[in-house]
Amino acid sequence: MVMMNRQEKLTGEDWKGLVKEASRVFEVNEVEREDIYYHMPSRHHYPSLFAWDSGFHAAAMCHLEVEKAARELETLFGQVRENGHLPHEVLLPNLYSNRWTRGLQTRLVSWEYDGRGASFMVDPPSYHFAAELVYRRSGDKEWLRRIWHPMRSCLDYLLEKRNILGDGLVAIFHPWESGTDMSPQFFRTMGLKARSRYSAPRAYIYPTALYASHRLSGWDSRRLSRVDRFVCEDLTVNSLAVRACLSMAFLAGELGHLTEERRYRHRAQGIMDALDEICWDEEQGCYFPRLGYRKPRLSRVLTAASLLPLFSGLCDGDRAETMLRKHLLNAEEFWTAYPVPFNPAPALEGAAAWVEDHLWSGHCVWINFSWMLSIALGERGYVREAKEITRRVVRMVLREGFFEYYDSRSGEGRRIPEFCWPALTLDMAARFWPEILD
């Protein structure tokens, strides 16, 4: 483990640099049209409202303008459908399209969206924890009352409509619903072999073909379960679902909804108990997702998602210590110069070239995972380690700029520039380096 020294400490200048760049990137991705307010993850490549992205945006925006963070979440929860479904993406108007062209775009890709330009998929529920962060800073109960019903409705949708195997865990039907798109944990189910160059064509075709197949099935849960092409009890989704339930319990208490407070605490514990019973691997000392409907089995591929139950807030103490010591704080796996790599370097040895071409498959650092795991460290009492992860990530982001992700070997910014997620370093710095804030 690399220790800190005085020359390496973050400073007030680092904070000012983060604030300046975060403000600039949020501004270029900001959308304000009538009663709509949100940030595109990137105007270059993602010119829409994305659900879990907006959760991350709000968590970061709290440190710049909490009113804007609240407005973004209010816009997001305004997209919840009558049945509780909160779409993964909604083609809302933005600065780069008028209503006519956006409507044309919606019609051209109608197979991918419903008639209102909303995706049929779900996203991991980052936005309930974000709502808790916004409320803790603003104390605005009127805002909380306005968003309460749709916020509750969309979480209950996941807990009930997506409890496909009846074991209390949320299931997804497409890799994109995990937020970690082409995670190696999904390769076996997708028929991919990381060390085979012959898997390259299938890696490009499979996700889109799967989506098209689901569209023909009307995204009906029972039909998709019977077909069993992709049914996954994913760790990112379920870890965030536990955290979402705890956030809802807290917020329910703030509104005096004591029955709801108890219900969500009970649901949070139920999901965590199911993760412990179904997904924990004692020999490996971490969690793995379970895939398959008819014959479900664990996908024993180690990624940072295997450690995300640490962020749930309810992870068993002994198991948490095992994951921290064996994996997260292990320099051979996740405790690297540029933390936290989604895939540990040893797991990528011998991988074919195509693996690096796909999101979440190769040598990559995603700031949202660094953020969540730094919070987990801090909550477990590993404040020094949380400070160190924050220091390394902040240095990387200030050096490279705000990119979609970063190369875990060099820290180099990858793919999309002016991407909003790195603004989460504001929350990391505020939590673990409060002495540098103005």
Q: Tell whether 320 is covered by a domain.
A: no
Residues 11 and 58 in one domain: no
Residues 173 and 295 in one domain: yes
Give the pLDDT confidence score for residue 345 in this predicted structure: 97
pTM of this prediction? 0.96
Q: Check residue 17 and give left, alpha or beta (phi > 0: left; psi -120 to 50: alpha).
A: alpha
Residues 203 and 128 in one domain: no
Give the pLDDT confidence score for residue 95 in this predicted structure: 59
Residues 286 and 177 in one domain: yes
Q: Please count the structural domains in the chain.
A: 3
Residues 102 and 184 in one domain: no
Residues 174 and 125 in one domain: no
Residues 139 and 239 in one domain: no
Q: Tell whether 324 is covered by a domain.
A: no
End-of-domain residue from the set 104, 132, 161: 161
Q: Tell whether 430 is covered by a domain.
A: yes
Name the nearest CA neighbour of 239 among 300, 170, 292.
Answer: 170
| Cα–Cα dist 340/252, whole Å | 33
End-of-domain residue from the set 161, 195, 218: 161
Residues 170 and 301 in one domain: yes
Q: Tell whether 317 is covered by a domain.
A: no
Three state DSSP letters for 367-408 = HHHHHHHHHHHHHCCCHHHHHHHHHHHHHHHHHHCCEEEECC
Coil vs helix vs strand at 245:
helix
Q: Tell whether 321 is covered by a domain.
A: no
Phi, psi of 169 (to 5 degrees): -95, 145
Residues 265 and 249 in one domain: yes
* Cβ pair 26, 64 in contact under 8 A: yes
Q: Tell whether 256 is covered by a domain.
A: yes
Q: Tell whether 183 is covered by a domain.
A: yes
Q: Tell whether 353 is covered by a domain.
A: yes
End-of-domain residue from the set 144, 161, 178: 161
Q: What is the mean pLDDT of each run of 10 residues along the chain (438 residues)?
A: 60 98 99 95 95 99 99 99 98 66 53 87 99 99 99 99 98 99 99 98 97 95 97 99 99 99 99 99 99 98 99 98 99 99 98 98 99 99 98 99 99 98 99 95
Instruction: Return the structure tokens found at 63.
Output: 């440190």
Residues 126 and 5 in one domain: no
Domain that holds residue 196: 165-305
Residues 294 and 350 in one domain: no
| Cα–Cα dist 369/222, whole Å | 32
Residues 244 and 371 in one domain: no
Pairing of strands 403-406, 297-298: unpaired
| Cα–Cα dist 174/176, whole Å | 5
